[in-house]
Structure 1
Amino acid sequence: MSFIESQNSFAAALLHPDRPLPEGITTARGAADLSRFAVYRNNVYVGLTTALGERFPVTKRLVGSDFFAGMARAYAADHKPASPLIMYYGDDFPDFIAEFPPAASVVYLADVARIEVAWTRAYHAADFLPLIAAALGGIAPERLADVVLVPHPSARLVRSDFPAGAIWSAHQGETLAPVADWHAETVLIVRPALHVEVHIIPPRDAAFAALLLEGATLGEAAEAAFTANPAFQFGSALIGLIGLGAFSAFEPNEGNLP
């Protein structure tokens, strides 16, 4: 067996208790050592599920420690870390939750987990000064529609059919506050300075924000937003998103504009 095959066999056996003991796992006397490997396997599971619990505290709180532990263990069985940076383990955990039958009744759970993924990513994103509204002042009005805003490195948008942002916010303190309005939400997660901020975007601005963060021009995003919601107001939406620190620059830059 090659070295790569041995590695794969060892990793598979770690995360699947039904797999046989990998070759070469023996005592000093050469006997198979099932008990010691079981201890090592358990330590790996504990490490991975603990990492998930620390990254998804609200998700864990919503379903309880026991349920979360079982869900996390089921996830870990088929999802090895893709990076040595354990803080990023679980990037696709929300997608797993969405397809996990025992969690089906908690319909908003996957979207709350997506906010927590975005929060972690924003926390560890590169530091960058956010764009200020005054920077757009030199753009000729007839060229404004062609401008593309560059998302801040920390900016993430989560669109949910449920009040995922309000649910996440309600679980930030010891005392839980009921969610009064049950409706779809678009949530902006961004770290323009030292702290990660979580903002619920007004519904009329949701399409505009999503398209801008996907690289659409101001004109394209505004047209789609007007179509989606006639109450959309271009000026207030643009200034609002810039004020939240959602962008770091714009293209083309001033040097390329007449």
Structure 2
Amino acid sequence: MNKQLKSHTPLVDQAQFITALMSAETPVPEGLVDQDCLAAGRRFSVYRNNVAVSLTEAMHSAFPVVAKLLGNKNMDGLSGLFLRAHPPSSPLMMFYGAEFPAFLEGMPQLDHLGYLGDIARLELALRHAYHAADASAIDPLKLAELSEEALLQTGLTLSPALHLLRSPWPIQSIWRFNTVEGADKPQAGAEAVLITRPEFDPIPQVVSSAEATWIEALMQGASIGEALDQARSTDTKFDLSSPLTLLLQGGAITGLVNKG
């Protein structure tokens, strides 16, 4: 809370303060005074406006592609509605906006932009991958040294930066078209997106449905062989060499687990 604002009585609880802070239509809480023990009406209004502006800017920074697709004015308005419904629960702005994808999908006026929620999920995943803890990748030779039988009985410990999203929309293509100059125009269709962080910045890459199934199984604790069986139930010709190479190149494999 602003150091120039303080409660004159113990009647201003946190919930009441936050409700008033998030909505310009809500009266200033009774008992809230400034440093001179005067009613904090005007000071509180200035403080409330500063908070709203800061959170709106945070939403633009967190969801730049959503903002570009909507336009700045519309993003400002949606951010105002969102912050009233979902005030920050952490002082770390890197975590703000987790509820935004579902919020977008709950707005009837945005039904014609059905992909927005998944674009927001992709931007969230990229942000979380960026801020994920560092983890050392294994030497690929450790896998190469395993026999085929041992390899199939091996599970993988995966990097905290690894994320996988499935969408009925071409979300990576939409994201790329709006962030990379000269990128191809998105074509209709579902996309599964693998996010790895080989160095400092996360990289989103489209993978096939079977590759996504294989990676999801590994993320849930399956061995390479068990995940292979699941992937081949989707595509009988599935070859694990391509997604395994993506994981190795992305620094996403941090350990091996014998599940034999």
User: Do the structures match in fold with TM over 0.5?
Assistant: yes
2:168 alignment counterpart: 161
1:224-243 equivalent positions in 2, closer than 5 A: 224-243=230-249
The 1-side partners of 2:108 and 2:173 are apart by 24
Match among 234, 246, 254 for residue 252 of structure 2: 246
The 1-side partners of 2:184 and 2:50 are apart by 37
Equivalent residue pairs, number: 253
The 2-side partners of 1:246 and 1:54 are apart by 26
RMSD: 2.5
2:226 alignment counterpart: 220
Cα offset, 1:48, TM superposition? 0.8
| Aligned partner letter, 1:7 | Q
The 1-side partners of 2:10 and 2:166 are apart by 44
1:1-258 equivalent positions in 2, closer than 5 A: 6-26=13-33, 32-174=39-181, 177-179=184-186, 181-252=187-258
Cα offset, 1:194, TM superposition? 2.3
C-alpha change, 1:61 and 1:52, in structure 2 (3 Å) is same
User: If the length of structure 1 is used for normalisation, what is the TM-score?
Assistant: 0.87
C-alpha change, 1:33 and 1:82, in structure 2 (3 Å) is closer
| Aligned partner letter, 2:189 | H
Which stretch of structure 1 is more off in the superposition, 206-215 or 164-173? Answer: 206-215
Cα offset, 1:137, TM superposition? 2.9
The 1-side partners of 2:12 and 2:229 are apart by 55
* 2:113 partner SS: coil
Aligned-pair identity in percent equals 34
Report if the CA contact (8 A) 2:164-2:192 is conserved: yes
| Aligned partner letter, 2:244 | L
Cα offset, 1:28, TM superposition? 7.0
Structure with the bigger RCO (C-alpha within 8 Å, sep 6+) is: 1
The 2-side partners of 1:229 and 1:244 are apart by 24
Cα offset, 1:27, TM superposition? 5.7
The 1-side partners of 2:116 and 2:183 are apart by 16
Unaligned runs of 5+ in 1: none
